[in-house]
Amino acid sequence: MTKILVIGSCGQIGTELVLALRTKFGNQAVVAADLRDTCPEILQDGPYIKLDALDREQVRAYVIEQKIEQVYLLAALLSATAEKNPDFAWKLNMEGLFTILDLAKEGYLNLLVAGRLPSSATSGDTPDSLQARRRFLSAGWYEPIATAVQGRLQNAVGPVLDVGCGEGYYLDHIDVGRTYGIDISKKAIQMASKAYPASQFAVASSYRLPVDDSSCAGVFTVFAPHSFSEYQRILIPGGTWVTVTPGPHHLKEMRPSRDETVDEREQRRSEPPEQAEQSERLQFTLHLTQDAAVDLFSMTPLRWQTAAHARPVTEVSVDVWIASGTNLM
């Protein structure tokens, strides 16, 4: 169940918003919050908390403890009152906003649009798989992939977005100034935010990017779903997109054996995207420790797609397409 907090809920707009949200999501899913000790009678069909938007720790603790996923911040001074006390107006209107934005950056709030995602749009990541990915990537086993992506984006002048950033490993290799990452996994974003504070992260869908039109100099994705129409929308003229997708022999030693017909079909599916202006097939063999082999297996879809037959092995093939382009018109 989505849990929503409306701060500043006792005004006219706040009251109407709470009622509308409760109609859509249910009374218990929407928490009304304001400075008043009690809420108006019209809001008493659902939860209410006395909450000060300027008490950063109180807001943060409540959001985390109650597992709030969306916040509507309506606590503010309007123009006539604000003009009489501009210093307090700035404090209330901006510090409350910064508190909510920081919570979003840490991964406690998300930018997913309720009702606009397919039912299948969920993350397959678990805490164990994320920790396995962090150990495996931090050991440098996929460094050639990170280097190849960085090379395609080294001339980007402006913000770069990692779509499906996971715990942030590949974004940390992009050295072009402002870097941002989004992922559908809340836990992954929390890990990324703590590990790489120089970048900005948010929970969001790759099919509905929370990014302005024509605002990014570069966008990339590594082994994650992506939308070229969204890339086209957010890239500046001449901006660069990069994708990393599996080739036909990627991790073949870990997969169950298949007949030639299936292999041929998979070969056709494993080509670089037709939008690519430049593509490179990167292939190399990993000689893993046993622990690294288990981590690699645990961080891939193989762990649940073919769990009965697939297995971790210490010598494994890496086969990926690095594709890029600048024109998606």
In a domain? residue 117:
no
Looking at residue 15, which CATH number applies to its domain? Answer: 3.40.50.720
φ, ψ dihedrals at 183, nearest 5°: -155, 155
With respect to residue 81, please indicate whether it lies within any of the assigned structural domains. Answer: yes
* SS3 label, residue 19: helix
> What CATH number should be reported for the domain holding residue 312?
3.40.50.150
Per DSSP, the three-state class of 256 is coil
Q: What mean pLDDT comes out for the span 34-50? A: 91
Give the DSSP per-residue string, 191-208: HHHHH-TTSEEEE-BTTB
pLDDT at residue 234, rounded to an integer: 93
Residue 262 pLDDT grade (very low, low, confident, very high; cuts 50, 70, 90): very low
Q: 70 and 133 share a domain?
A: no
Same domain, 164 and 63: no
**Residue range 199-225: mean pLDDT, rounded:** 91
- Cβ-based neighbour number of residue 180 at 10 Å: 21
Q: Check whether residue 20 and residue 142 sit in a common domain.
A: no
90-126, pLDDT tens digit by residue?
Answer: 888 888 888 887 777 676 666 655 444 444 445 567 8
- Rounded CA separation 8/6 (Å): 6
Is there a single domain that holds both residue 143 and residue 283? yes
Q: Are residues 180 and 134 in the same domain?
A: yes
Q: Taking each helix axis as running N to C, give the angle between helix 186-195 and helix 127-138, from 0 to 180 degrees, rounded to the nearest 10.
A: 40
The overall average pLDDT reported for the chain is: 86
Residues 97 and 245 in one domain: no
**Contact criterion met (CB below 8 Å) for 236 and 216:** yes
Q: What is the mean pLDDT of residues 283-301?
A: 93
Side-chain half-sphere CA neighbours of 107 within 13 A: 24
111 in a domain, yes or no? no
Cβ distance 18 to 71 under 8 Å? no
Helix, strand, or coil here: 308? coil
Q: Are residues 81 and 12 in the same domain?
A: yes
Exposure class string for 153-175: b at 16+ Cβ within 10 A, else e = beebeebbbbbbbbbbbbbbbbe
pLDDT tens digits, residue range 242-254?
Answer: 999 999 999 988 8
**Which residue, of 46, 71, 105, is where some domain finishes?**
105
Domain shared by 96 and 211, yes or no? no
Q: Taking each helix axis as running N to C, give the angle between helix 96-105 and helix 56-65, from 0 to 180 degrees, rounded to the nearest 10.
A: 40
Pair (211, 306) in one structural domain: yes
At residue 228 the predicted structure's pLDDT band, cuts being 50, 70 and 90, is: very high
Spatial CB neighbours of 212, under 8 Å, sequence gap ≥ 6:
234
Which helix (H) or strand (E) element contains residue 14?
Answer: helix 12-25
Q: Per the domain annotation, does 101 fall within a domain?
A: yes
Retrieve residue 218's tokens.
């570069």
Total domain count, the chain = 2
> Which of 217, 212, 226, 7 has its CA nearest to residue 109?
7
SS3 220: strand
Can you give the residue range of the structural domain that contains 134?
A: 127-325
Q: What is the mean pLDDT of residues 188-197?
A: 91
What value does the mean pLDDT take over residues 164-176?
93
143 and 213 co-located in one domain: yes
Please give the share of the chain, as a percent, with pLDDT higher than 70: 87
Q: How far is CA 207 from CA 54, 64, 91, 170, in A?
A: 34, 27, 35, 20
Q: Are residues 84 and 164 in the same domain?
A: no
Residues 187 and 71 in one domain: no
What does the pLDDT look like over 81-91, one tens digit per residue?
A: 878 888 888 88
Please report whether residue 133 resides in a domain: yes
Give the single-character DSSP code of 95.
I
